[in-house]
A = this chain, B = another copy of it.
Amino acid sequence: MTVIAERLEDALARISDGCMLAAPNESAGVSMEATRALIRRGIRRLHLVALPTSTLQADLLIGAGAIATLETSAVSLGEIGLAPRFTAAVKSGAIVMKDATCAALYAALQAAEKGIPFMPLRGLIGSDLARYRPEWRVIDNPYGHDDPIVLLPAIKPDVALFHAPMADRAGNVWIGRERDLAILAHAAKATVVTVERLHEANLLDDPVLAAGTLPGVYVDAVAVAPRGAWPLGLPDHYTADMAHLADYARLAATAEGFARYLGEHVDVKRAA
């Protein structure tokens, strides 16, 4: 049964040092509140899979020393520019960067979703991405003639973590058209969700809401975190806090500035 946690920290208990953590990008719903709580807890050695890209979440975790391996298709601060801690960490070799491309990450997570060991995918051949991914095997398509195709092994995260508009007390989570969140939850062994609010009725009782609902069977823990994506946006709810992100980019340009940012915005929990 899904735990509706009183404290965010309780919901995050199953995200342990060294685990493979999967998260969506900001257009689907990033739990920044949980990300800050994990940093406060001092989480270490994460293998972060960001589907398919990341922005502040990866940069913050990297800067805080929480990430050993990052697997994603791109990290930047969007219109604000490069992600400073990501860039510095890759250049210094502080993290292992597994560069991917969006479609390959989707396919590998969908392989886990379907319980199959691998998924074939077009493209990829001749990209240097493949040179650094020996696990991407090229086979001859059994249904073609001299037709090489890449196989991608399934990615099965230990935990998926994201933010969504609402959940009910049975653990059903309304994700709307952000189906990436369903792929993550289906593929991962466990799923932790923060939500803007609890919906008092069962989301599955209304056929219109049910169409956008991830069933609680996939969801291990839910915690309420109003504006939990801040300073990123949540689609149809609030936009990104661009001024804050610009401040972040400025501070995070140096290790000292980043430490100051952590002190001001992460080390102390926001007032509810």
Contact = CB atoms under 8 A, between A and B. Distances in A.
Q: Most chain-B Cβ atoms within 10 A of its Cβ — which of A116, A137, A149, A209?
A: A116
Interface stretch (A1-9, A76-84, A140-148, A243-251): A140-148
B107 A114 contact: yes
A121 B147 CA distance: 21
A233 B13 CA distance: 46
Interface residues of A, number: 33
Contact of A142 (B139, B141, B142, B143): B139
A68 interface: no
A142 B118 contact: yes
B117 A208 contact: no
A102 interface: no
Interface string A177-216: 1000000000000000000000000000001111110000
A257 interface: no
B137 A118 contact: no
A116 B117 contact: no
Contacts of A139: 142
B121 A120 contact: no
Contact of A176 (B110, B118, B210): B210
A270 interface: no
A137 to B, nearest CB: 5
A71 B238 CA distance: 47
Interface in A97-131: 107, 110, 114-122
A143 B114 contact: no
A117 B140 CA distance: 11
Contact of A177 (B107, B176, B211): B211
Contact of A212 (B116, B137, B212): B212
Given A114-B119, A116-B121, A142-B151, 12 more contacts: A107-B114, A110-B114, A117-B149, A118-B142, A119-B119, A119-B120, A135-B143, A175-B211, A176-B211, A208-B209, A211-B211, A211-B212
Interface of A: 107, 110, 114-122, 135, 137, 139, 141-144, 147, 149, 151, 153, 175-177, 207-212, 235-236
In the complex, the 4 A-B pairs of residues with the closest C-beta atoms, listed nearest first: A211-B212, A176-B211, A207-B236, A116-B120
